[in-house]
């Protein structure tokens, strides 16, 4: 068993040993042609080292053995006159070439070790950061909720509640919203962040559409909806779409169009929320999915935003192996979420149109 394990581990070294010994035998048997097997030995050793990077001690021993053996082979032939004496200089030259290779290989390995260590440190830091974010948000939630509760009681029991109370309540609500979103983001790294189920996409999107079209006076449109089964986390998908539609509502005026649609693309589906809103400036759009990204901070704050909605959308979509994108101009924005794991229903084109019509009839 042990011998087999050793053979498995060291088969390349053993193969090289056999190859080198055979070449050494040829050196001795055919002294006139010995420079060919001689070079084979050295080149194959250099090749072997490239794959194996032996420890320093083994390197010295192997180098010494090859140096002495090939030196004796060539030296003997120089003495008996089958090779000129200058051939002997090949031995230190080949050793120097081998050592240069050893040096470069070690430099490369040291650089790789540093990179590996740095990446492990970065990973540990990220885990620590995530845990801190989660714990801090979690711990802050309770005192904020208690403070808000007390303030609400105070406001209710006071005969003339001061306007400062409303400001304080608004701010506490804002903190609660931020904490909730931070908690959600902190969970994004955990393996159970998304629990995938099979979602019937058409009724799911219709439901999102119906909920929103009833709360905001916009020119709501349900575009073509690809019907089929999507493997996704329903809660995550709902949060992502709600965030996009919420943004579309926030950044459009009454009567402006907001369209929800989806299209199949191979085994993926692209869900889109398009609006006729203010659009996003070119310099803001490049980092719009980052945490705390805000295209227009003053306006965002006035609208009650904190810049975490799209970061959450991005985290949810990425956890599904998909990706987000946005196209924007002064005429409006279109956010697209691409999800893999979609199986389009047969006769989907008909059902999607029928679905849109059915919904139009309901409204």
Residues that bind ligand ADP (CB under 6 A): 243, 247-248, 251, 275, 277-278, 280, 288, 293-296, 300, 305-311, 333
Closer of 73 and 309 to ligand ADP (Cβ): 309
User: Quick one: which segment of 39-47, 49-57, 176-184, 247-255 binds Mg ion (CB under 5 A)?
Assistant: 247-255
Closer of 247 and 352 to Mg ion (Cβ): 247
Nearest Cα residue to 246 out of 278, 269, 271, 216? 216
Q: Where are the alpha helices (DSSP H) in the chain?
A: 2-29, 35-52, 56-80, 90-157, 163-187, 201-213, 234-250, 282-285, 297-302, 309-319, 348-362
Q: Please state the closest distance from residue 341 (CB atom) to ligand ADP, in A.
A: 25
275 binds, among ligand ADP, Mg ion, none (CB under 5 to 8 A by kind): ligand ADP
Closer of 218 and 294 to ligand ADP (Cβ): 294
User: Quick one: which segment of 101-109, 244-252, 260-268, 289-297 binds Mg ion (CB under 5 A)?
Assistant: 244-252
Q: Would you tell me the crossing angle of helices 234-250 and 309-319 to the nearest 10 degrees?
A: 150
Please count the residues of this chain forming the interface with Mg ion, following the rule CB under 5 A.
2
Q: Are 259 and 248 in contact (CB under 8 A)?
A: no
CA dihedral 17, 20, 26, 31 (to 10 degrees): -140
Closer of 52 and 291 to ligand ADP (Cβ): 291
- Binding Mg ion (rule: CB under 5 A), the pick from 213, 247, 278, 336 is 247
Q: How far is the C-alpha of 57 from the C-alpha of 9, rounded, in Å?
A: 18
Closer of 224 and 318 to Mg ion (Cβ): 318
248 binds, among Mg ion, ligand ADP, none (CB under 5 to 8 A by kind): ligand ADP
Q: How far is the C-alpha of 317 from the C-alpha of 332, rounded, in Å?
A: 22
Closer of 248 and 348 to Mg ion (Cβ): 248
Q: Please state the closest distance from residue 52 (CB atom) to Mg ion, in A.
A: 55
Q: Please state the closest distance from residue 243 (CB atom) to Mg ion, in A.
A: 5
Residue closest to Mg ion, measured at CB: 309
The DSSP 8-state label assigned to residue 345 in this structure reads P
CA terminus-to-terminus distance, the chain:
76
Q: How far is the C-alpha of 261 from the C-alpha of 227, rounded, in Å?
A: 11
280 binds, among ligand ADP, Mg ion, none (CB under 5 to 8 A by kind): ligand ADP
Secondary structure (H, E, C), 220-251: EEECCCCCEEEEECHHHHHHHHHHHHHHHHHC
Q: Are 49 and 60 in contact (CB under 8 A)?
A: no
- When asked if residue 309 is in the footprint of Mg ion (CB under 5 A), the reply is yes
List residues binding Mg ion (CB under 5 A): 247, 309
């Amino acid at each position: 068993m042990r011998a087999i394990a050793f053979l498995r581990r060291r088969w390349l070294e053993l193969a090289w040993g056999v190859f080198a010994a055979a070449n050494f035998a040829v050196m001795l048997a055919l002294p006139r042609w010995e420079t060919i097997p001689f070079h084979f030995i050295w080149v194959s050793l250099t090749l072997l080292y490239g794959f194996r990077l032996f420890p320093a001690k083994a390197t010295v021993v192997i180098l010494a053995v090859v140096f002495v053996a090939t030196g004796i082979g060539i030296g003997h032939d120089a003495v008996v006159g089958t090779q000129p004496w200058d051939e002997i200089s090949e031995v230190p030259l080949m050793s120097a070439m081998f050592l240069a290779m050893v040096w470069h290989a070690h430099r490369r390995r040291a650089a790789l070790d540093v990179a590996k260590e740095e990446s492990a440190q970065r990973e540990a830091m990220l885990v620590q950061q995530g845990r801190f974010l989660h714990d801090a948000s979690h711990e802050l939630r309770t005192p904020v909720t208690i403070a808000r509760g007390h303030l609400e009681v105070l406001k209710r029991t006071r005969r003339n509640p001061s306007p400062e109370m409303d400001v304080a309540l608004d701010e506490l609500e804002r903190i609660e919203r931020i904490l909730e979103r931070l908690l959600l983001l902190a969970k994004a790294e955990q393996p159970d962040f998304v629990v995938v189920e099979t979602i019937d996409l058409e009724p799911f999107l219709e439901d999102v559409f119906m909920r929103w079209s009833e709360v905001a006076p916009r020119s709501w449109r349900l575009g073509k909806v690809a019907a089929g089964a999507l493997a996704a986390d329903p809660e995550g998908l709902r949060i992502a779409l709600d965030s996009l539609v919420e943004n579309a509502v926030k950044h459009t005026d009454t009567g402006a169009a907001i369209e929800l649609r989806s299209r199949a693309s191979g085994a993926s589906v692209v869900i889109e929320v398009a609006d006729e809103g203010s659009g996003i400036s070119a310099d803001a759009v490049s980092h719009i999915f980052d945490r705390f990204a805000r295209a227009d901070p003053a306006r965002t704050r006035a609208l009650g935003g904190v810049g975490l909605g799209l970061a959450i959308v991005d985290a949810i979509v990425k956890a599904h192996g998909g990706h987000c994108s946005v196209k924007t101009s002064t005429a409006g924005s279109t956010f697209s979420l691409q999800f893999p794991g979609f199986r389009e229903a047969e006769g989907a084109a008909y059902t999607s149109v029928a679905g849109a019509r059915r919904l139009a009839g309901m409204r």
